[in-house]
């Protein structure tokens, strides 16, 4: 760890364990997703932590699918999750595991508990078990089956496995303490009957182990040293330890909990994300508005920006909400340095330069990055008929409006100063459809030899050269910072304007040759990414990753800086 990396409590724990000689074989972590949905940015926090700690301490990190719930799991999620972890930049090498591969060994552990008199088969219904469980203030009541003899428990458990009973007819429970203050310790169910085909083990099993039982024992089988999980499992830790302490396991993992990531204006729960997809609110798991890793990737976020985000938000034991702007801030920082600049017009307004020859065409030099000459230059075609952004013209402009207005002069980026002389309207609607302008030929390149200044610099494209494209602009997915807040229905605050599709955009010709996934800054408009799915040669599609912080940052002729984007 270098001196600039902020430390956190997990690093301190690991440092201490190493110092005390508790990890003679190095540290070993794991990321244990359930394959019942796509990964979201909250998972990225857990991935970066687990893989990050392993890398930092030259240890190992496993990818383990926690797949003990046959109803919801699917191979398509297993594949998507692997793609996402790899995309984030992490490698589990040969350590890809599935909890379902341990079903036989977990069954053996359960038998071991029964033989020790520490587990019993209960004939009560799920509802009765709930009633007997007690509450936070009242102790639970022992099940009438709690003292079933070991031999009978063994016989019934084997017959459960053999499929002799219906779903829910019997369960296996750990025999701990029905009066424990911690409800998780009140004889938790560890096996249940589910006659559902499993996506990997098919119909081999009709009994499935519960999460708490599976998680700790899988960790122990894999020699995991530090089992890092989110805070909601804190109350499960005594149970985790109870299983490990009461069974003859090959290793002794320890569980540590950290706060989940909560991100404003979105939801980070697979169940809710599934609902958004299945109810058709979103185009799919990779809809660029989704907080999923596949959505963020398609939107144009880089793996590095997500790792950097996870580092910046830190790691604590207190529930925290992260401002939606933090993620945008990180990607802006990266792209302001790395993304080549281009010009595109989202909502075009026609401009005719009356004093420019009809058939003339010039190729003007444009810097690919105003602060980084190593990114080179390109040629941008200029001609008599151009398009500018509709918003960059105002007929009755206030004094502070530094863009184009009747009688005012502005700079066209990399080109000339132009002055607006006349406004052409549609006869019927009265809408402004064209501006008649003149240019000053002496200002070629964007500065005036007489030293005269203009306040505004506009982006533009040449009508005869520009290509048509679609731009997709995104806003927050929800209109409430915390859509899950108790007094509202989370779906009622979906932002109806989270996507705006503009079909009439005009782009610099060379942008039409972009590779899907390539990122650019469209000057004054934001950072955009060529869409990976819907891109067509005859219809380029660009997703806006993020706006520029200050859309109207003044761009000067000498190519000096649009302000550093997004600084806080
Ligand atoms: P969800 O509530 O979205 O279904 P989950 O915790 O059930 O999430 P898992 O597949 O079990 O999803 O998660 C794998 C790991 O990712 C777990 O160890 C969990 O602690 C961690 N994780 C999930 N969500 C977050 C989050 N928002 N912040 C940090 N870690 C998370
Ligand atoms: Mg889970």
Select which of 30, 64, 270, 544 is catalytic: 270
- Give the distance (Å) from ligand 1 centre to CA of residue 128: 30
The Å distance, Cα 411 to ligand 1 centre, comes to 51
SS (H, E, C) 255-315: EEEECCEEECCCCCCHHHHHHHHHCCCCCCCCCCCCCEHHHHHHHCCCHHHHHHHHHHHCC
Mutate to test the pocket of ligand 1, among 29, 43, 228, 269 (most ligand atoms within 8 A of CB): 43
Q: Is the Cβ–Cβ distance between 522 and 342 less than 8 Å?
A: yes
Q: Ligand 1 pocket test: which of 33, 233, 291 has the largest number of ligand atoms within 8 Å of its C-beta?
A: 33
* Sheet with 207-209, edge to edge strand ranges: 119-122, 171-174, 189-193, 207-209
Q: How far apart are CA 263 and CA 482, in angstroms?
A: 8
Q: Are 78 and 52 in contact (CB under 8 A)?
A: no
Q: Tell me the ligand closest to 37's alpha carbon.
A: 1
How many A from CA of 58 to the centre of ligand 1?
25
Q: Is 260 a catalytic residue?
A: yes
What separation in Å is there between the alpha carbon of 33 and the centre of ligand 2?
7
Active site residue 12: no
Q: 76 catalytic, yes or no? A: no
Query: Nearest C-alpha to atom 9 of ligand 1 is from which residue?
Result: 33
Residues 38 and 269 sit within 8 Å (Cβ to Cβ): no
Q: Indicate which residue of 260, 272, 436, 491 is catalytic.
A: 260
Q: pTM of the prediction?
A: 0.93
Q: Which residues contact 134 (CB under 8 A, 6 or more apart)?
A: 140, 141, 178, 179, 183, 186
Cα–Cα distance measured from residue 71 to residue 196, given in angstroms and rounded to the nearest whole number: 7
Rounded-to-integer distance, Cα 286 and Cα 13, Å: 37
Ligand 1 atom 13, closest CA: 33
427: left (phi over 0), alpha (psi -120 to 50) or beta: alpha
CA of 129 to the centre of ligand 2 (A): 23
Which atom from ligand 1 is nearest to the alpha carbon of 262?
A: 27
What are the angstrom distances between the C-alpha of 249 and each of 66, 100, 172, 256, 472? Answer: 19, 18, 20, 19, 54
Closest atom of ligand 1 to 273 CA is 3
Query: CB count, 10 Å around CB of 357?
Result: 9
Per-residue pLDDT of the chain (568 residues; tens, 9 = 90+): 455 566 899 999 999 999 999 999 999 999 999 999 999 999 999 999 999 999 999 999 999 999 999 999 999 999 999 999 999 999 999 999 999 999 999 999 999 999 999 999 999 999 999 999 999 999 999 999 999 999 999 999 999 999 999 999 999 999 999 999 999 999 999 999 999 999 999 999 999 999 999 999 999 999 999 999 999 999 999 999 999 999 999 999 999 999 999 999 999 999 999 999 999 999 999 999 999 999 999 999 999 999 999 999 999 999 889 998 999 999 999 999 999 999 999 999 999 999 999 999 999 999 999 999 999 999 999 999 999 999 999 999 999 999 999 999 999 999 999 999 999 999 999 999 999 999 999 999 999 999 999 999 999 999 999 999 999 999 999 999 999 887 789 999 999 999 999 999 999 999 999 999 999 999 999 999 999 999 998 999 999 999 997 433 334 333 333 333 333 2
pLDDT at 485: 84
What residues pack around ion ligand 2 (CB closer than 5 A)?
34
Nearest CA to ligand 1 atom 29: 260
Ligand nearest to C-alpha 232? 1
C-alpha closest to that of 191 among 202, 201, 180, 205: 205
Please report which ligand is nearest the Cα atom of 291.
1
Taking each helix axis from N to C end, the angle separating 150-161 and 103-115, rounded to the nearest 10 degrees, works out to 160
Whole-number Å distance between alpha carbons of 41 and 187: 35
pLDDT for position 3: 53
DSSP H helices in 314-405: 324-338
**Sheet containing 432-439, strands listed edge to edge, beginning at the edge strand earlier in sequence:** 457-458, 409-412, 417-425, 432-439, 348-353, 385-389, 460-462
Dihedral sign (CA 227, 233, 235, 238): negative
Rounded distance between C-alpha atoms, residue 444 and residue 441, angstroms:
6
Pocket of ligand 1 (CB under 6 A): 32-34, 42-43, 45-46, 66, 229-230, 260-261, 268-270
Ligand 1 geometric centre to CA of 204 (Å)? 28
């Amino acid at each position: 760890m270098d001196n600039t990396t902020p430390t956190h409590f997990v690093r301190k724990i690991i440092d201490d364990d190493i110092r005390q000689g508790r990890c003679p074989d190095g540290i070993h972590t794991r990321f244990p997703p359930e394959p019942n949905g796509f990964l979201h940015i909250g998972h990225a926090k857990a991935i970066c932590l687990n893989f990050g700690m392993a890398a930092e301490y030259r240890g190992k990190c496993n990818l383990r699918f926690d797949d003990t719930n046959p109803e919801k799991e699917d191979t398509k999620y297993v594949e998507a999750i692997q793609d996402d972890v790899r995309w984030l930049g992490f490698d589990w090498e040969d350590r890809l595991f599935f909890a379902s591969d341990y079903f036989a060994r977990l069954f053996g552990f359960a038998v071991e508990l029964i033989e020790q008199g520490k587990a019993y088969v209960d004939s009560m219904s799920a509802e009765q078990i709930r009633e007997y469980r007690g509450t936070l203030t009242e102790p639970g009541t022992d099940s009438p089956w709690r003292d079933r003899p070991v031999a009978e428990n063994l016989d019934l458990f084997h017959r459960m496995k053999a499929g002799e009973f219906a779903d829910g007819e019997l369960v296996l429970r750990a025999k701990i303490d029905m009066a424990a203050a911690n409800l998780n310790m009140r004889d938790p169910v560890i096996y249940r009957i589910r006659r559902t085909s499993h996506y990997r083990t098919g119909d081999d099993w009709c009994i499935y182990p519960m999460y708490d039982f599976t998680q700790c024992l899988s960790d122990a089988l894999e020699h995991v040293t530090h089992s890092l999980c989110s805070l909601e499992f804190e109350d499960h830790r005594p149970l985790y330890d109870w299983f490990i302490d009461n069974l003859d396991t090959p290793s002794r993992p320890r569980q540590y909990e950290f706060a989940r990531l909560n991100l404003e204006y979105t939801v980070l729960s697979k169940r809710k994300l599934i609902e958004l997809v299945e109810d058709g609110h979103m185009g799919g798991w990779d809809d660029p508005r989704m907080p999923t890793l596949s959505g963020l990737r398609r939107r144009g976020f880089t793996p590095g920006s997500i790792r950097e985000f996870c580092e910046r938000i830190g790691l604590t034991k207190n529930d925290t909400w992260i401002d939606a702007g933090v993620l945008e801030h990180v990607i802006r920082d990266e792209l302001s340095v790395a993304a080549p600049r281009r010009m595109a017009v989202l909502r075009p307004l026609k401009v005719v330069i009356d004093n420019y020859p009809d058939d003339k065409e010039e190729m003007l030099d444009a810097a690919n990055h105003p602060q980084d000459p190593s990114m080179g230059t390109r040629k941008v075609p200029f001609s008599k008929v151009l398009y500018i952004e509709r918003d960059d013209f105002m007929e009755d402009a206030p004094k502070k409006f530094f863009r184009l207005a009747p009688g005012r002069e502005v700079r066209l980026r990399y080109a000339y100063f132009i002055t607006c002389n006349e406004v052409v309207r549609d006869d019927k609607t009265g809408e402004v459809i064209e501006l008649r302008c003149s240019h000053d030929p002496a200002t070629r390149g964007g500065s005036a030899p007489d030293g005269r200044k203009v306040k505004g610099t506009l982006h533009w494209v040449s009508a005869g050269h520009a290509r048509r494209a679609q731009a997709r602009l995104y806003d927050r997915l929800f209109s409430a910072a915390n859509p899950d807040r108790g007094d509202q229905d989370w779906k009622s605050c979906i932002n109806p304007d989270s996507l705006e599709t503009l079909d009439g955009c005009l782009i610099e010709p060379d942008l039409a040759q972009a590779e899907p996934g390539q990122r650019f800054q469209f000057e004054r408009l934001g950072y955009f990414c060529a869409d990976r799915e819907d891109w067509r040669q005859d219809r380029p599609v660009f997703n806006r990753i993020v706006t520029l912080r200050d859309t109207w940052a003044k761009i000067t002729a000498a190519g000096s800086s649009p302000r550093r984007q997004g600084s806080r």
